[in-house]
Amino acid sequence: MSEPRLYSELAEWWPLLSPPSEYVEEAADVLGMIRGAVDSPRTLLELGCGGGSLANNLSPNLEMTLTDRSPQMLAQSRRVNPKSEHVLGDMTTIRLNREFDIVLIHDAIMYLTTREKVLAALETARLHCRPNGAVIVLPDYVRETFTSQTSHGGEDAPDGRGLRYLEWTWDPDPSDTTYEVAFAFLLREPDFSFRVERDHHVEGLFSRAEWQEMFRDAGLAVKTRMDPWDRDTFIAKRV
C-alpha cells in the first residue's frame, strides 16, 4: 500500500502539523486507561506510531517499542523518542516474537479500510499482548460518531519554517467502509518563500457492532468507553 504524501515526501513537516505538545491531554487519558487495565504496566508496543507525538508523552512512564510502516515517520519519531526502540513494519503483518503489557493502536488504525485488514491488525495485537495484558485501540471515528468537518492549524519553527493546513473530511458513500480526507498545506521555507501542497487520504469506517465482532473474531474480549472528546475507545483482553 502506498503511503499518503504526508507520511512520505512531506514527513519532514510533521513536527509543525502535529507536535507532541498537542497530545498532552490525550496521553494523560490514555495513561489512565493503561493503568486501569493492567497492574503495574511496564512495557508498551505501539503499532503505527507515526511521528511519535503521542508516544513522546507516554514514554516517561513506560518502556516503549514503536513501529510504523513508513521509514520517514519512524525517523520523525526517533527524534522525539530517542530512548525508545523503533521497528519498521506493517501492523497487519509484523511479528516481533515478544509479548508486552500493553499493545496500543492509535489513529493509524483508520488507514485499514477493510474488515480483513482490521482483523489482521487485531490479531497482531493479540499475539504481542501478554496474558493479563491489554490491547487498546483508539479510532478517530466509528460509524455512529462520524461527521463531515473541516479543521485547520499549524506551527512555526525556530529556523523560520512554517506550516498551515486545512483539513476537510467527508464520506461520499455511507454504504461502504471508507471516508475521505483532503489536506491543503501552505509551507514556508526559512528564506520565507512558500509553496502549496495537497494530499488525499482514504480511511476506514466501521460501526460499533462491526468493531465488537472484529475483536471477538481476533480472540479478544473487549470493553468500550467514551473518552473526554466523545470518541469510542476499545480496551481488550486476550480470551
pLDDT digits (tens, 9 = 90+) for 80-111: 999 999 999 999 999 999 999 999 999 999 99
For 35, the grid coordinates are: 493503568
**Domains 5-140+207-238 and 143-204 fall in the same CATH topology:** no
How far apart (Å, rounded) are the C-alpha atoms in residues 68 and 56?
15
| Burial (Cβ within 10 Å: 0-12, 13-18, ≥19) of residue 120 | middle
> What does pTM read for this prediction?
0.96
Pick the CATH number of 143-204 from 1.10.3210.10, 2.20.130.10, 2.30.130.10, 1.10.510.10: 2.20.130.10
pLDDT of 156-198, one tens digit each?
999 999 999 999 999 999 999 999 999 999 999 999 999 999 9
How far apart (Å, rounded) are the C-alpha atoms in residues 79 and 56?
10
Element (H, E) at 25: helix 24-37
- What are the percentages of helix, strand and coil residues in the chain, rounded to 5? 30, 35, 35
CATH architecture observed for domain 5-140+207-238: 3-Layer(aba) Sandwich (3.40)
Is the pLDDT assigned to residue 28 strictly greater than 70? yes
For 48, the grid coordinates are: 503505527
How far apart (Å, rounded) are the C-alpha atoms in residues 85 and 67?
8
Counting residues of the chain whose pLDDT is more than 70, the rounded percentage is 99
Look at residues 52, 26, 37, 9 and name the one whose alpha carbon lies nearest to residue 197. Answer: 9
- Note the pLDDT of residue 2: 62
**Could you tell me the pLDDT band of residue 1, with boundaries at 50, 70 and 90?**
very low
**Domain spans of the chain, in order of start:** 5-140+207-238, 143-204
Question: What number is the average pLDDT over the span 51-57?
Answer: 98
Look at residues 99, 10, 102, 95 and name the one whose alpha carbon lies nearest to residue 50. Answer: 10
